[in-house]
């Protein structure tokens, strides 16, 4: 289990990663625990918001040949074509990232711009990223073509796990064509798998999918790499008076969202409030 704490609008939030069923939350002073990808759907302390987290898991204990075979034929072809096109990939450790502020700014700017163009609210949290780097918990990989960075991936890592955090493929009007960028992103994911396998990690977590039954375009792309389906839970739990009040307000917001979703579309959310 790994933890790091940062403040957002004066509230201390402790992020907990890779928690096992037998683990207990650390006895530290914080307002809110944010437990990522918990294997259990409950918590003794409260109030809490519990959200299902669906993801895909790739087993890194297999040989490189077995990993390659698990990927779709089209993805294998793209990896080969990317190498022929001169696309390159590089991985930066937390120690190296401490001197790569401009790279992180470029990553964050590209991330927010691309998601804004898609109409999706997804903000690159620079303050939290810095905390992960300070704790030696973050890895960033970058694919480049023609001297330009066109795909970025970031991961939270432990001695056994790598879990996707932020990811973006940089489609620009004056940059490489879309096909080149897709190949670069595919190539970078494959190189990431090999990198973590070489480092002795066991599990590559694709960072989440929206739906197994009705996958989005991004979900379908991730599924081409042959990962196993898994559903765990993200838990947001209030600890202090301020934290409990904040989570209680968050619970009300989720209930309103659930109510309106049911009215508008009949969609039944899997959000669980306890």
Same domain for 73 and 172, yes or no, is yes
Contact 50, 35 (CB under 8 A): no
pLDDT tens, residue by residue, 33-49: 999 999 998 888 779 99
Domains identified in the chain, total number: 2
**258 or 162, which is more confident:** 162
Same domain for 34 and 139, yes or no, is no
Q: Does 106 reside within a domain?
A: yes
Same domain for 37 and 74, yes or no, is no
> Residue 178: what pLDDT?
87
Going by C-alpha positions, the residue among 161, 123, 257, 260 that lies closest to residue 271 is 257
Phi first, then psi: give them for residue 231, nearest 5 degrees.
Answer: -120, 120
Average pLDDT over residues 182-207: 98
Same domain for 67 and 185, yes or no, is yes
pLDDT-above-70 percentage for the chain: 92
Instruction: Please give the Cα distance from 274 to 272 (Å, whole number).
Output: 7
What is the SS3 assignment for 104?
Answer: helix
Q: Does 225 reside within a domain?
A: no
Q: Does 260 reside within a domain?
A: yes
Same domain for 249 and 135, yes or no, is no
Q: Which residues contact 267 (CB under 8 A, 6 or more apart)?
A: 261
Which range marks the domain in which residue 73 is found? 61-201
pLDDT tens, residue by residue, 140-187: 999 999 999 999 999 999 999 999 999 999 876 555 688 999 999 999
**15 or 174, which is more confident:** 15
Contact 3, 15 (CB under 8 A): yes
The count of C-alpha atoms lying within 13 angstroms of the C-alpha of 164, restricted to the half-sphere facing its C-beta, is 22
Same domain for 181 and 254, yes or no, is no
> Residue 167: what pLDDT?
96
Phi first, then psi: give them for residue 155, nearest 5 degrees.
Answer: -140, 145
Q: Does 30 reside within a domain?
A: yes
Going by C-alpha positions, the residue among 112, 189, 178 that lies closest to residue 143 is 189
Q: What does pTM read for this prediction?
A: 0.89
CATH number at residue 157: 3.40.630.30
Same domain for 106 and 164, yes or no, is yes
> Residue 261: what pLDDT?
58
What length is written for the chain?
274
Q: Does 261 reside within a domain?
A: yes
Q: In this structure, how many other beta carbons lie within 10 angstroms of the beta carbon of residue 184?
A: 27
Whether the per-residue pLDDT at 55 is higher than 80: the answer is yes
Contact 47, 251 (CB under 8 A): yes
Question: First CA to last CA across the chain, in angstroms?
Answer: 23
Instruction: Please give the Cα distance from 227 to 55 (Å, whole number).
Output: 9
Q: Does 209 reside within a domain?
A: no
Q: Does 217 reside within a domain?
A: no
Mean per-residue pLDDT over the chain, rounded: 91
Same domain for 168 and 146, yes or no, is yes
Q: Does 210 reside within a domain?
A: no
> Residue 185: what pLDDT?
97
Same domain for 70 and 131, yes or no, is yes
Same domain for 165 and 260, yes or no, is no
Same domain for 88 and 191, yes or no, is yes
Same domain for 66 and 180, yes or no, is yes
What is the SS3 assignment for 221?
Answer: helix
Whether the per-residue pLDDT at 23 is higher than 70: the answer is yes
């Amino acid at each position: 289990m790994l933890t790091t704490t940062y403040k957002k609008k004066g509230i201390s939030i402790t992020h907990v990663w890779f928690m096992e069923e037998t683990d207990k939350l650390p006895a530290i002073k914080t307002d809110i625990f944010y437990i990522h990808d918990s294997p259990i759907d409950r918590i003794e302390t409260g109030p809490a918001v519990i959200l299902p987290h669906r993801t895909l898991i790739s087993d890194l204990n297999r040989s490189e040949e077995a990993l390659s075979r698990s990927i779709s034929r089209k993805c294998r072809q793209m990896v080969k074509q990317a190498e022929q096109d001169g696309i390159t990939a590089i991985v930066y450790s937390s120690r190296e990232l401490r001197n790569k502020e401009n790279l992180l700014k470029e990553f964050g700017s590209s991330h927010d711009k691309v998601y804004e163009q898609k109409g999706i609210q997804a903000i690159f949290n620079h303050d939290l990223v810095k905390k992960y780097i300070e704790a030696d918990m973050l890895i960033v990989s970058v694919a480049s073509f023609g001297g330009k960075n066109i795909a970025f991936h970031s991961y939270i890592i432990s001695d056994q796990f790598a879990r996707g955090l932020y990811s973006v493929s940089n489609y620009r009007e004056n940059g490489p064509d879309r096909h080149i960028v897709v190949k670069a992103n595919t190539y970078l994911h494959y190189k990431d798998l090999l990198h973590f396998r070489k480092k002795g990690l066991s599990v590559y977590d694709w960072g989440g999918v929206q739906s197994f039954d009705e996958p989005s375009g991004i979900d379908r792309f991730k599924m081409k790499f042959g990962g196993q389906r898994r559903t765990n839970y993200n838990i947001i739990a209030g600890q202090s008076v301020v934290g409990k009040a904040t989570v209680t307000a968050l619970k009300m917001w989720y209930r309103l969202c659930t109510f309106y979703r049911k009215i508008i579309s009949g969609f039944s959310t899997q959000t669980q409030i306890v």
